[in-house]
Amino acid sequence: MSIGAKAGKGIRCHNEALLRLLGKIAHQCGTRAFLVGGPVRDMLLDRFGPDIDIAVESKAQTVGKEIGRRVHGRFVFHSRFLTATVTLPDSSHIDITQTRTETYSRPAVLPRVKPAPIEQDLFRRDFTINAMALEITPFRFGYLLDPCSGQQDLKYKLVRILHPKSFIDDPTRIFRAIRFAIRLGFGIEPQTLKLMRQSIKSSYPSLLTAERILYELRLISSETRRLQMIEAIKREKLTRTCLDWSPPSHFLSKLKLLSSRTRNPELFFILILSNLPDTGNFPITKQERESARAINRFHLIHSRLMRAKRLSTIYRLLHPIPEPALQILSRIEPRAVARAINLYLNRLSSIRPTVTGRELRKLGLMPGPKYQRILDRLLYARLDGLISKEKEYNMARRLIRQKKV
Ligand code: CTP
């Protein structure tokens, strides 16, 4: 289906019926509505993402709530950002934002936002290719607003900022410029590139919070061309400036290896974390922190693992390591080590002693640290083939009687 005839283009739209419905709901609530940002860019490039970004000139909360009701989605309103999100049953999102202007009180801080008409909203955005809006309100459905000539930059494959202070106000846009350029196979327009490098040279990215930098690294980790993005970040000395991190080439080889063996964004992100100089105060999950640390310290057990003759030794060495770390290591370590890790992940980790704590109690053992020690001894003996499942009970009885643990 072709829409946007009024924009002089035959734009292919994959979800026209839904967009028409959203526009109609906004109109019934008394406001104009637009598809904005990434989805417009992607539509003009004939690409398609599952999420939809809508901007309304007023009543974002009312419109969001009504959309949630009509499409059977889950509705959440973030009053601080004047943004509503509706999560659809297939877990895709519709974001509804109030059109706004933004003012930055200082470089690299989050902006103060104020409601404003759509034209002004487009001028506060990062790049010309992201500063277009497609009206979806009835009677004007399909009108393209392109005050910054985004269509032309799409045609010439260029990422271009809208004003010279863009990378100073918001240095996360440097990550974004690199990400979009590499994702889309675009160039960064020469003046934009110059200003981007000036911002890095003047250390503006170092003013960003760790949270915002990590958010950008997470986004990069989800991209198909993530490795090229990390290489570009290194070339531009971007993370050297803001994280004191310049990924060494041996580490880039590991990222490459991991990337060739799994698409999983979280594993890629954890591997990055493991190479950062200091993640002490970073807002990351406990599992991410512990996994990154385990990868970092893996060399300490490496040779013991290589020499391990018994399955129980492999088990004991690998058991304390969180699973995401093992998933990563199994893909980046040499074959012999990877084999031991896979053996642990696929077989050893699921073996459990059949004797229960209750049975130990019946055998006269008082609750305490001895419980775990006996259960471990039974498990190691099982793993090493010294006893069968059936003999475990006898061994437990013997250990308790002999007071050997
Ligand atoms: N935006 C901006 N400056 C930022 C982040 C976002 O101007 N630092 C604007 C851009 O117009 C962008 C829109 O907000 O298109 C939505 O942001 P986001 O969802 O991050 O960008 P998308 O373009 O939708 O990117 P993606 O294709 O990765 O979803």
Residue with tokens 């609750």: 367
Position 12 pLDDT exceeds 90:
no
The fold of the 4-156 domain, in CATH, is Beta Polymerase; domain 2 (3.30.460)
How far, in Å, from the CA of 130 to the mean position of ligand 1?
Answer: 7
Position 6 pLDDT exceeds 60:
no
How far, in Å, from the CA of 45 to the mean position of ligand 1?
Answer: 16
Average pLDDT of the segment spanning 381-385 = 87
257-287 per-position pLDDT tens digit: 999 999 999 999 999 999 999 888 899 999 9
Determine what percent of the chain is predicted with pLDDT higher than 90: 77
Q: Which residues, including other chains, have CB under 8 Å from residue 97's CB and lie 6 or more apart?
A: 36, 53, 54, 55, 56, 60, 81, 82, 83, 84
Average pLDDT of the segment spanning 157-168 = 98
Candidates 20, 99, 28; CA nearest to 62 is: 28
Candidates 79, 88, 84, 82; CA nearest to 18 is: 88
How far, in Å, from the CA of 170 to the mean position of ligand 1?
Answer: 12
Determine what percent of the chain is predicted with pLDDT higher than 70: 96
The domain spans of the chain are: 4-156, 157-247, 248-350, 357-401
384-399 b/e (C-beta count within 10 Å ≥ 16 → b)? eeeeeeeebbebbbeb
pLDDT at 84: 95
Average pLDDT of the segment spanning 166-190 = 98
194-236 per-position pLDDT tens digit: 999 999 999 999 999 999 999 999 999 999 999 999 999 999 9
Question: Which segment of 19-28, 135-144, 347-356, 361-370 scores lowest on mean pLDDT?
Answer: 361-370
For a pocket test of ligand 1, which of 44, 130, 223, 229 has the largest count of ligand atoms closer than 8 A to its C-beta?
A: 130
pLDDT confidence tier of residue 1, bands split at 50, 70 and 90:
very low
Position 95 pLDDT exceeds 80:
yes
227-253 per-position pLDDT tens digit: 999 999 999 999 999 999 999 999 999
pLDDT at 394: 83
Q: What is the pTM of this model?
A: 0.91
pLDDT at 9: 53
283-313 per-position pLDDT tens digit: 999 999 999 999 999 999 999 999 999 999 9
Burial class (CB in 10 A: 0-12, 13-18, 19+), 120: middle
More confident residue, 391 or 72: 72
Task: Tell me the two tokens of residue 67.
Answer: 């959309």
Q: What is the domain class of 157-247 according to CATH?
A: mainly alpha
The C-alpha atoms of residue 176 and residue 191 are separated, in whole angstroms, by 16
Question: Which segment of 261-265, 343-347, 369-373 scores lowest on mean pLDDT?
Answer: 369-373
Position 189 pLDDT exceeds 90:
yes
CB 322, CB 287: distance < 8 Å? yes
Candidates 30, 19, 20; CA nearest to 61 is: 30
Strand partners, 101: 114
pLDDT at 390: 79
Ligand 1 neighbours (beta carbon < 6 A): 37-38, 49, 53, 125-126, 130, 170, 172-173, 176
Position 7 pLDDT exceeds 70:
no
170 Cα nearest atom in ligand 1: 8
